[in-house]
Structures are given as structure tokens and as C-alpha cells.
Amino acid sequence: MEDATVESKQPVSVRNLRRPKGHISSVATNMLHLKNPWVTAWWSAAFPGFGHIILGSYVKGFLLVVWELLINVKAKLNLCILYSFGGQYELARQVVDTRWLLLYAPVYVFAIWDAYRRTVDLNKKSVLADREDSIVLPSKINTIEINTLDKKHPWLAMVWSAIIPGVGHLYTHRVPTSFFVLIWWISVSYLSNILPAIHLSFTGQFAMATSVVDMQWLLFLPSMYTFAIYDSYVNCVEYNKLAEVEQARFLKDNYQSPDALMPV
Amino acid sequence: MFITATFEYSEYLELAISELEQHGIIRERIVAIPLDKKVEKRKILDTIHRADGVSQIDGAMVLGAVFMELGVVYGYFWKLGPVLWGLIGLGAGALAGFILDYYVGKLLATGKQARTLKKERREERLRKWC
């Protein structure tokens, strides 16, 4: 009984701080929303770190992405995968660099497991924040950026990401993701020679296209490309939902006076 | 006199309310009531005004990535090369994932409609009288 009175004395501001729904900074809106843990685990399997970036856990996510790029390239793991799938097992054995290879597996498995675990954990906090009806202030303006919670078109986020990964996130104002995706996309496109290969493929010079690409780098691109489309779309939808919840709360708090006359 | 109107959630709604206040209608005489729809027909893509919370893109992008990766790998050994096979893989995988999601989702939705459709479209109803 005494516990209950102590709890009721906790002001709403403190309760909201305990169970925040999100945080709006000038460069990004980071928020909790329900996600399927298998989906974040899957993105971590596709590219370690992506699951964490989906969750808004940027520092861990970028650490894992840089780790993936470094160890995979040094161990020549993508080439090993390529030759293994192509049935050239001897070549697969020769190409891999055993000075790096064993570093790969533990962190890879950790990234998948941690993305799953963290999603389950954050889902609980998301439900609690919803039940607490935590306040999110919908604007943040500072010296260098402006971020306002407003509604955007999810299909536009997808299309921009499909045209050039990273730009869809600029549209939804998730600047950290955009910044890193643009950097990876430009670097890996350049290093994989995909752009000349696209010119050659679309002019029918298929053998040339195959010979010009660097498969070690090219195999990074499919997951980066689909991730950018997926993540910008999901963020856009979730930001829209948050904007609606925030506005509904504002209206309830300010435009439901008990003194108002209601039509019978 | 009562005036009622319905709005989608948007900044235009707040502009409309503040416009009323500019015209001297006091806040206490304006009532805004969020409308929650219990069940809504599923849409393929969420749009700016509605999100049903049932993602149709998870499966499409997951299988899209898998088949794009496989397309790039095997395309390297096949005639059309890794770029075109990668794009073919993306298209085929996304389509397969979407169809799978759509039909599995539909089965779930008809079974337990109320529970599956967690987030319904909400509208604002604005009442004003003077």
C-alpha cells in the first residue's frame, strides 16, 4: 500500500523520463517502436551492424559495420563465399587469408544475437512508453540543423533510397544513417567497379561486365542496397505514426475543456 | 451553432484550429476528438495518412536481399554477369517475399483481425460552436 502512494507521488515528468518514447535531436529522431526481432536479426546476418542501426543504436552499429568491412576484406571472405557457392572449393580454400579468418565468426554471431536480444528488450520498453503516454516534443532547432516531426510519404523514401541509397534517409531526416550509408555506398561502388559494369551490362557486353567487377567488394552491395530501402521506409512509417500520436495528445490536452458545451 | 469537421492528422489541422483562435473563438469552445477506427482494410503500402502496422515490406526486402546476393554470386559464373542477375534476383526475391507476406498476412488477418490490425487509421474530429 505504501509503495502505491510513493508511486503516485512521482510526477508525470519523471515517469515520462523513465519510459521515454523517443528523443528528437536536430539531426535525427530516435524512437522506440515495435519490431520483429527476427527481422533485425536477419539484417544483422545480411550485414553485421545493420540490425543495430535499425534499432537506432548507431555507435554499436557503425562499429560492427566497420568491423565487417575490415575483417571480410582482409580475410577475403566474400571471394571464399563466391567460390564455395560456385562449387570451386579448392579455389575457395586458397583465396581465404587465415591470418584474419577466425576473427570473423564470433563477432558475426554476436551481432545477430545481440540485435535479436536488443529488439526484444526495446519492444518491452516501447509498450511501456506507449502505456505511459510519454511526451515527445515535436521540434528541435539548433545552430546547424532543423528537425521537426511531420508526416512524409513512405513510398518516396523507398524510391529515393532505390535511386541512391542514403538519400531516402535524408528525406526522413535520419541524418546519421544517411551520412554513413552514402559513404559506404560511394566507397563500395567505386571499389567494386559496379558503375562501369552497369554501363557494360546495359549495353550487352556481359563478359566484359563480369571481368571488370571486383567480387570481394561487389558482394557487399546487395544487402546495403536493400537495407537502405527497407530502413528508410520503416522509419518514415514510424515517424508518421509518432507524429499522429503526438498531435492527438496535444489536442486532447488543449482542446477538451470540461466546460465546453457539447451538442446533444 | 455547432460546426463540425473531420481532418486527417496534419499540421493543417493545427493551422485551422489556430485560425479559429485568431478569429477570437476561445480555446474552451473548441473540442478536438481523435477518432479511432477499430478495423481497417489492409493496404499494400502504408501512406502518409495511414499505417496499419502490418508491414508488407519485411518479407519483400528480406527475400529481395537474399536473392540479389545469390544473383550476384551465380551471375558471376553465368552469361549475363553479376549486375543483371543481381537485379533479376532482387526483383524475383522481392516479389516472392511480397506474395508470401501478403497471403500469410491475409490468413492471419482473417483469423484474428482485431488483434492483427493494431494501429488503425485515426482521424481528428474538430467541433466548434459559437
What DSSP letter does each residue of chain B carry, written as one string?
-EEEEEEESSHHHHHHHHHHHHTT--GGGEEEEEEE-S-----SS--SS---S--SSHHHHHHHHHHHHHHHHHHTTSTTHHHHHHHHHHHHHHHHHHHHHHHHHHHHHHHSHHHH--S--EEEEEEEE-
Q: CB contacts < 8 Å between A and B, how many?
A: 149
Q: Which of B17, B48, B82 shows the shortest C-beta gap to A218?
A: B82
Q: How far is B87 from chain A (nearest CA, A)?
A: 9
How far apart CA B102 and CA B63 sit, in angstroms, is 13
Average pLDDT over residues A38-63: 94
Does the CB of A81 have a partner CB in chain B at under 8 Å?
yes
What value of ipTM does the predicted structure carry?
0.73
Q: Is the per-residue pLDDT at A233 higher than 90?
A: yes
Nearest CA in chain B to A233: B57
> Which pLDDT value is given to residue B124?
58
Residue type at B76 in one-letter notation: Y
Q: Which of A210, A233, A255 shows the shortest C-beta gap to B30?
A: A255
Does the CB of A207 have a partner CB in chain B at under 8 Å?
yes
pLDDT digits over A95-147, tens only?
Answer: 989 898 888 888 999 999 999 999 999 999 999 998 888 888 899 999 999 99
> Which pLDDT value is given to residue A112?
93
Cβ–Cβ gap A151/B9 under 8 Å: yes
Q: How far is B34 from chain A (nearest CA, A)?
A: 6
Q: Which of residues 158-197 of A touch B (CB under 8 A)?
A: 158, 194, 197
All structural domains of chain B with their residue ranges: 2-129
Contacts of A230 in chain B (CB under 8 A): 57-58, 61
Question: Which among A251, A254, A259 is the top mutation candidate for probing chain B, defined by the most B β-carbons within 10 Å of its own β-carbon?
Answer: A251
| Beta carbons of A161 and B90 less than 8 angstroms apart | no
Q: How far is B38 from chain A (nearest CA, A)?
A: 16
pLDDT digits over A150-186, tens only?
Answer: 899 999 999 999 999 999 999 999 999 999 999 999 9
Provide the mean pLDDT of chain A: 90
Phi first, then psi: give them for residue B28, nearest 5 degrees: -65, -15
Contacts of B82 in chain A (CB under 8 A): 197, 209-210, 213, 215, 218
pLDDT digits over A177-206, tens only?
Answer: 999 999 999 999 999 999 999 999 999 889
Cβ–Cβ gap A82/B73 under 8 Å: yes
Q: How far is CA A99 from CA A106, A215, A230, in A?
A: 15, 21, 35
